Structure formats: C-alpha cells, structure tokens
Amino acid sequence: MEYVFILGRDYELSILELVAYMQKNNIRFSIKEMSPLAAIISTDESFKPKTAIKSLGGVVKIGEVLQNIDEAYEGDKNKIKYAISSYGKTDITRIQEDIKKSFKKQKIKAFYKKPKREKALMPNEVIKQKLIEGGVEFLAYNEYLAKTVAAFNPFEHEKRDQEMPCKDYLKTISIRLAKILINLSQAKNSLLDPFCGYGIILQEAVLQGINATGMDTDKTSVEAAKKNLEYIEKKYEIKAKYEVIQGDSRFLSRTVKEAEGIATEPCLGPYLKQMPSLEEAKKTMKELETLYAETLKEAKKVVKGKIAIIVPRFQTKQKKDVIMDFNSIIKGLGYKTWQPIKEIKTPVIYPHGWIIREIWVIE
C-alpha cells in the first residue's frame, strides 16, 4: 500500500517519528518521497492508518494513494460530502473536473465542502464534517491523489486536557510531543520517564499499552502524576501497568531495575519570565550538564534500548545561544546517536520559546 502522510510543523521530527513507528511495529516500508509538507511511504499490509494516527504526534492526516479515482467512495450514493485539500504543486481545476466526472459516472450525488483556509481542510474540519466515515476528503499532493483514511482528532486531546484532575502547564509537555518521544524511543513493553512531572508521557505510554514507570524529585508532581494516571486508568480501562516513584534520576538504578526505553523532557532549568543573560544561561547550563551526565550514566545500567531525550539550548539577551555539549557527554558514556535517514541530521531542533529544544535519540 502507498500512503501520503501530511506532516506537522516540525517535519523532520515527524519523519523520524514515522521511521521509528514503522521499525517498532515491524512494518516493512520504504520512503518514496519527503518534503516539509508530506511524505510518500509504501508499507506492507500490517500498517493500520487508524491505529497509527492515535499513536503518532507529528502526523496530521494519512491518505491512501488512489490508483483509480473511482475507488475513492463506496458508500451511500445519496448526498455525500466531499472536499479537496491541496498540498504542494497541484492542478486543482483539473482534479475537481476529474472528481465530478467520476461521481457523475457512478451516479453519486456529491456536495463540495470548501476549506476554510485557502487550500486545505484542518483536521478538526475533517472530523466535524465526518469526511472519513460518511464522505471523502481528497488529498492532492504534487502528482499524487489520495483519500484521507485517518486524521488527527484535536477534540480528544482537548477533552482529556479539560478533564485531567491535576494540571500545571509549567510541569508538562504537550500530548503531541509526548507521543513523538515515545515513538522515538521505540519502547513496546516498558518505558521509563525519569523526569515525569505531572505524567503526560506516562499517560500516553499506558494508552498505547506500554507499561510505564515515572520518577520525579518533587513530591507534588509525583502525587499529581498518580492522580492523572488513575483518571486515565478508570476512563479508558487501560491494561498496562504503571508506577510513579519519588526519587532522584541520578540514582535511578536503585529503584528501577529494567526498562526497554526512555522518553523524557528533563529539567530545563528555572522557569524564565524573561530572556536570561549570557552569564545566567551559562551557570544554568553547567548545572544541567552535570544532571544529564549523571542521569545517563545511571540509565546505562537500566535501559536496554533507545533514549529519546530533550536537551535545552538557551537564547540570551546578548543574542548568543548557550548550547550544551551533549555530544561529548554521550560519547564519554558510550552512547551513539540514532540517525536512520542521512538527509535528517540529529539532533532535530524544536524551536518554540526562549528555550530551544534539541531532540536527541541515543542508544
């Protein structure tokens, strides 16, 4: 099967996540084309788009490439909705005419849903209009024409976020980034987050059926993570096991004996209300380098697979970035970077806010 994957804003991260997801699930695949907008990937039949979209954080839509435009719709032929979302260089006028001819030939009564944006429907529009179950969204990407078979559902994330019993946005990462880190770790059975905060990564792990262990030095965070996981367990009837420990990541092997992988955003320094000075940033970075080195030394005793970890890069008032020499740290500890695609260099930069995040995958 051949699919069009419409990628999120950090496309290199999205592509690395896709590669990790395929490898983790033993799906045979080949990347035919990739760009900041989309990736064209051929997979075997074990790839299930609707299952994948629930786990992937960096993919907006998945479309099955059409060999014949008449295959796009097989349901009720009376008053269906359809839409066309264009990405890249496409001849929309020609595509619209071809679709109208196909519907006419099949005697399908179809009504066009125009995107609110200029060229493409947002995922929430696809979900609201029920275009996957009861209609068709055509994805036009360069010379490819596909039909959407899975789309990211933002309403599910919003609902969970609203219902979560404990919230502190200074101690959590986004659900989207949590999913990406979990997939990059390629953990299938057991995952460790040694800086778990309020437990977003742990929640995503157990929802995917992965046993999860979290650790944090802060008692309040540990209690909040437990309450949030109890909510997830009750709401979604999860079967995966979880544990949250109050402890120091620099001594994690004392309490954690084994984990398949790590997905984590460690402490990134004190909360910044304004951009730090160069000296402030250097002082914080020196402290963090020690924390990272000692934690990764301990992880060597525990982790069997990959570690997906966020490393900070501070922007300063003097317009000079302060960067951790993370490469030297991991080389000194015997790690190497995971770099499956030569066109994408690691770390991948995640440039959101004063603290720029570098996303590393090491093994």
pLDDT in tens, the chain (363 residues): 999 999 999 999 999 999 999 999 999 999 999 999 999 999 999 999 999 999 999 999 999 999 999 888 877 777 889 999 999 888 888 988 999 989 889 888 988 888 877 789 999 999 999 999 889 999 999 999 999 999 999 999 898 888 899 988 777 899 999 999 999 999 999 999 999 999 999 999 999 999 999 999 999 999 999 999 999 999 999 999 999 999 999 999 999 999 999 999 999 988 877 889 999 999 999 999 999 999 999 999 999 999 999 999 999 999 899 999 999 999 999 999 999 999 998 899 988 777 899 999 999
Structure tokens at 216: 């944090």
Are 179 and 81 contained in the same domain?
Answer: no
> Mapping DSSP to helix (H, G, I), strand (E, B) and coil, where does residue 51 land?
helix
Element (H, E) at 191: strand 190-193
Beta-bridged to residue 29, according to DSSP, are 43
Domain boundary among 132, 152, 172: 152
Residue 312's pLDDT is 95
Cα(149)–Cα(214) distance, integer angstroms: 34
DSSP-derived letter for residue 324 is -
Classify residue 215 by its DSSP letter.
Answer: E
Residue 227: the pLDDT is 97
Is 225 in the same domain as 306? Answer: yes
Q: Torsion angle, CA of 39/43/48/54, rounded to 10 degrees?
A: -30
314 pairs with which residues across the strands?
322, 355
281 with 344, same domain: the answer is yes
- pTM, rounded to two decimals: 0.95
Q: Closest Cα to residue 287, out of 318, 312, 256, 253?
A: 312
Let me know whether 44 and 184 are in one domain.
no
- Same-domain status, 112 and 174: no
Domain residues for 337?
A: 156-362
Say whether both 145 and 186 belong to one domain.
no
> Residue 5, Cβ neighbours under 10 Å: how many?
29
- For residues 185-221, b (16+ Cβ closer than 10 Å) or e, as one string? bbbbebbbbbbbbbbbbbbbbbbbebbbbbbbebeeb
Rounded to an integer, what distance in angstroms lies between the CA atom of residue 10 and that of residue 92? 26
Q: Are 57 and 156 in contact, with CB atoms under 8 Å apart?
A: no
146/167 same-domain check: no
pLDDT at res. 252: 95
pLDDT of residue 167: 87
Domain count, the chain: 2
Both 145 and 160 in one domain: the answer is no
Question: What's the chain's Rg over C-alpha atoms?
Answer: 22
Q: Are residues 101 and 47 in the same domain?
A: yes
Residue-level pLDDT at 133: 87
Task: Give the end of a domain, one of 152, 177, 192.
Answer: 152
Q: Does residue 289 share a domain with residue 318?
A: yes
Q: Which CATH number covers residue 115?
A: 3.30.2130
CATH number for 174: 3.40.50.150
Q: Are residues 109 and 196 in the same domain?
A: no
Q: Are residues 173 and 312 in the same domain?
A: yes
Tell me the two tokens of residue 261. 């992988």
Domain boundary among 118, 152, 186: 152
pLDDT at site 355: 86
Nearest residue to 81 via CA among 141, 50, 126, 124: 126
Nearest alpha-carbon partner for 210 in 172, 166, 243: 243
Q: Which two tokens stand for residue 203?
A: 């929640």
